[in-house]
Structure formats: C-alpha cells, structure tokens
C-alpha cells in the first residue's frame, strides 16, 4: 500500500469521525421536530409553553409545561448556588494550597465522584437527604425542590471542581511569581491574579454544571416529589421536564397528543441546553479576549 493511499484512508477516517457528531445531532433534531411539532399545532406554542396545567390523560387534556420549566430552573439554580462557590473554593485549594501528595489523591477522587451513576445519587437523596430535610423544616415530605437541589448540587460539584482546577492549573506560573515578586501575599495572588486569569474556564465549568443539572433525570425523579405545579417555596414538591418525560413516556400511546407533548418537552429542553452552551461559549470567549487584551 502506497503512502498516498494510507494518507487518503487516514483522512477519510478522520473526516467520518469529525462529521459523525453533526449527523447524530441532525438525527436528534429531526426526530424531535417530527414528533414534537404536532402538539404545537394542536395546543399552540404559547399555551404549551406558558400553560400551568398538565393533565394529559383527562377527557379534556391540558398540556401546559410552565410548571415543569419552573421546576427544572429552580432546582438547577439551587444546585448551582450550592455547587459553584464550594467547587471554586475546592479547586482553588487543590490547585494552589494543597501539598502535592494531597492534590494527587484528591483529583482522582473528585473525578471518580463525577462518574457515579445518577440513580445512586437519587437513592442517597431519597433515603438520607429527604428525611433530614423533612425533620429539619418539619414539613409533610422531604421530597422537595430543596432536596433535589442539594442532591444535584452534590452531583454537579465534581464537574465544577474538576474543570475549574484544570483552568487554574493552566495559568502560567510566571503570573503568580510576578505577583509574589512585587510583594503580593498568596491570598492576594490567588484572588487578584489566578482567579481572574482563569475566569474563562471557571465560567465554562459553571455553565457545563448547569447543563448537567438541567438535563438530569433519575435523581430529580426520585427526590423532587413529582408535583406538576408551580411551587412558591423550595420546600414544596416540584417536577422537572426530564422526570416528566421519563415517568410518562412508557404509558403513552404512540401518535397521541400526550406522546407528541412529551417530545415537545424534549424540544424545549434541547433549546434550553443549546442556549446555555452558546452562553458558555460567548462568556468564555469574552473573558479570554479581555484577559488577552490586558496582558
């Protein structure tokens, strides 16, 4: 086999690998569109998105997903409020303060936590977190938005910590050494040099954490309570979009309005995730551009 032939084969394989993700994404969009669009024609986009009643099996069925959107967002915001500061501080300690042997031990442990199946976190939340929340706040059930936010925060924490630590470790040592050379303390160096320089990676870590939290299914299904209503308190049960799809898809009749409505929820979830990813890319680019301009 000639060298030119081998190069052609390698280029072809790489081209197929590079375009496969686009093909898969196109297939996902095609399926979601063909299966989800019919509900918009039946119910209407405005009523579907902003409707507050979800009764898909009633004689006069109602398909309003605003409570599920609210549930997903409130759980995600709560999870990020828990995981972001703790993850950044953990990453800062591992990267800048911890001794070498501790860093080499903790980094694999954190990454191992990110690989634990979500159903395990769901069991942990249902059997441990929920009873504590119920007793602590003296409420009828511990399966609430608050419990789900805590569980998701624990799930998201390894992702935020690991990516943030990678961003902090990638900062050139010259920046830190220059700051220390002009009299800055270690704390001032970390907060005024290292963190701003890693802002691009930190923002990406947070947005990826949002994507992980908003797309989570099993843990939310097991811990959030499953109530398709807009809860005015974090201590009330809620239902997320993902758990609605998981809980009801097996019970629907293929081709029914209920079936298409679940795909409509998937379309809304897909768009939300896409928006978060675009925001992450834009924020990362802006921070990188700003930091490059100030060097």
Three-class DSSP labels, 38-55 = HHHHHHCHHHHHHCCCEE
pLDDT of 293 strictly over 70 = no
For the chain, where are the E strands, in sequence order? 54-55, 62-63
Q: How far apart are CA 226 and CA 243, in angstroms?
A: 8
- pTM of the predicted structure, to 2 decimals: 0.84
pLDDT of 30 strictly over 80 = yes
Domain of 130, CATH number, reads: 1.10.3720.10
Question: Does residue 283 fall inside a structural domain?
Answer: yes
Q: How far apart are CA 241 and CA 39, in angstroms?
A: 16
Report pLDDT for 291.
55
* Closest-CA residue to 236 (of 133, 120, 153, 105): 133
The model's pLDDT over 181-237, given as tens digits with 9 standing for 90+, comes to: 877 777 778 878 888 888 878 888 888 888 888 888 888 889 988 888 888 888 899
Query: What letter does residue 126 receive in the DSSP assignment?
Result: I
The pLDDT confidence band at residue 178, using thresholds 50, 70 and 90, is confident
Query: What letter does residue 182 receive in the DSSP assignment?
Result: T
Question: Does residue 101 fall inside a structural domain?
Answer: yes
Question: Does residue 207 fall inside a structural domain?
Answer: yes
Q: Give the list of residues 6+ apart from residue 56 with CB closer than 8 angstroms, or none.
A: 62, 63, 248, 252, 257, 258, 261
The model's pLDDT over 240-279, given as tens digits with 9 standing for 90+, comes to: 999 999 888 888 888 889 999 999 999 999 988 888 778 7
Quote the tokens at residue 114: 């990110």
Question: Does residue 179 fall inside a structural domain?
Answer: yes
Give the pairing type, strands 62-63 and 54-55: antiparallel
Question: Does residue 162 fall inside a structural domain?
Answer: yes
Instruction: Show the domain range for 105.
Output: 62-294
Question: Does residue 53 fall inside a structural domain?
Answer: no
Number of domains in the chain: 1
Q: How far apart are CA 27 and CA 11, in angstroms?
A: 24
Quote the tokens at residue 68: 């599920």
Question: Does residue 15 fall inside a structural domain?
Answer: no
Question: Does residue 287 fall inside a structural domain?
Answer: yes
- Average pLDDT rounded to a whole number, residues 52-70: 88
């Amino acid at each position: 086999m000639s060298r030119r032939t081998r190069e052609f084969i390698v280029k072809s394989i790489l081209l197929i690998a590079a375009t496969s993700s686009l093909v898969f994404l196109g297939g996902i969009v095609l399926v979601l569109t063909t299966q989800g669009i019919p509900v918009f024609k039946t119910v209407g986009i405005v009523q579907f998105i902003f409707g507050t009643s979800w009764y898909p099996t009633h004689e006069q069925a109602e398909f309003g997903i605003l409570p599920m959107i609210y549930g997903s967002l409130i759980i995600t915001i709560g999870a990020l409020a828990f995981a972001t500061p703790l993850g950044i501080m953990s990453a800062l300690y591992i990267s800048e303060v911890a001794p070498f042997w501790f860093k080499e031990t903790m980094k694999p442990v954190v990454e191992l936590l990110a690989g634990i199946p979500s159903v395990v976190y769901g069991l942990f939340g249902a059997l441990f977190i929920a009873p504590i929340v119920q007793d602590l706040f003296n409420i009828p059930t511990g399966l609430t938005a608050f419990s789900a936010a805590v569980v998701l925060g624990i799930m998201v924490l390894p992702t935020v910590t690991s990516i943030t630590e990678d961003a902090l470790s990638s900062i050139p040592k010259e920046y830190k050494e220059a700051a220390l050379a002009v009299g800055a303390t270690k704390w001032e160096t970390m907060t005024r040099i290292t963190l701003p320089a890693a802002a691009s990676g930190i923002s990406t870590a947070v947005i990826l954490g949002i994507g992980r939290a908003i797309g989570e299914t099993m843990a939310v299904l097991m811990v959030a309570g499953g109530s398709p209503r807009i809860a005015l308190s974090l201590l009330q049960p809620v239902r997320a979009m993902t758990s609605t799809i998981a809980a009801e898809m097996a019970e629907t009749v293929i081709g029914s309005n209920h079936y298409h409505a679940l795909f409509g929820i998937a379309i809304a979830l897909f768009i939300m995730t896409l928006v978060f990813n675009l925001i992450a890319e834009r924020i990362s680019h802006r921070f990188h551009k700003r930091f490059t301009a100030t060097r």
